Amino acid sequence: MSIFFTADTHFGHENIIKHCERPFDSMEEMNATLKSSWNLRVKNADEVYILGDFWFKGGSADNALGLLRTLKGKKHLVVGNHDKKYLGDNDYRSCFLEVADILNLTLDGERIIMCHYPIVEWEGCKSTK
């Protein structure tokens, strides 16, 4: 089993192509390429931590749910500013092992604090003061 981290995939977000100079001609091409790349790398037993903005508003909850169900791995969602639209949908939400604003993980003896937003200080941080 492997562990993956990703953020700001912005599936369903046509304008992200222009805003971030992504190399795609359409949202459909972007979604298909991201999905293909994801599934080539991630196996079903792998853990995937999505650090916000998985899906934007392009399409319906069914579109988002349909794509989410085709992505391999056991998914954890750290909520970003564009994730809230579909979190009220129980089917969508059930595709994630957990949904949280902040997640803590210990990996190889190192504590990892995951949040979509920048944080300056957190419980247990080592102050440089």
pLDDT at 124: 75
- Of the candidates 108, 98, 12, the residue with the CA atom closest to the CA atom of residue 50: 98
Q: What is the DSSP letter of 117?
A: S
Residue 124 lies in a domain: no
Residue 35 lies in a domain: yes
Residue 122 lies in a domain: no
What secondary structure does DSSP assign to 66-91, as a single string?
Answer: HHHHHS-SEEEEE--TTSGGGTT-HH
Residue 121 lies in a domain: no
pLDDT at 128: 56
pLDDT at 75: 98
Place of tokens 């972007």: 30
Q: What residue numbers bound the domain in which 80 lies?
A: 3-115
Structure tokens at 49: 């931590």
**Mean pLDDT by 10-residue block, N- to C-terminus, for the chain (129 residues)?**
94 84 90 95 98 81 86 97 86 94 94 91 70
SS3 3: strand
Distance, CA of 44 to CA of 65 (rounded, Å)? 17
Number of domains in the chain: 1
pTM for the model stands at 0.89
Q: What is the DSSP letter of 111?
A: E
Do the beta carbons of residue 50 and residue 82 sit within 8 Å? no
75: CB partners within 8 A, 6+ apart: 48, 50, 68, 95, 96, 97
Give the domain CATH number at 7.
3.60.21.10
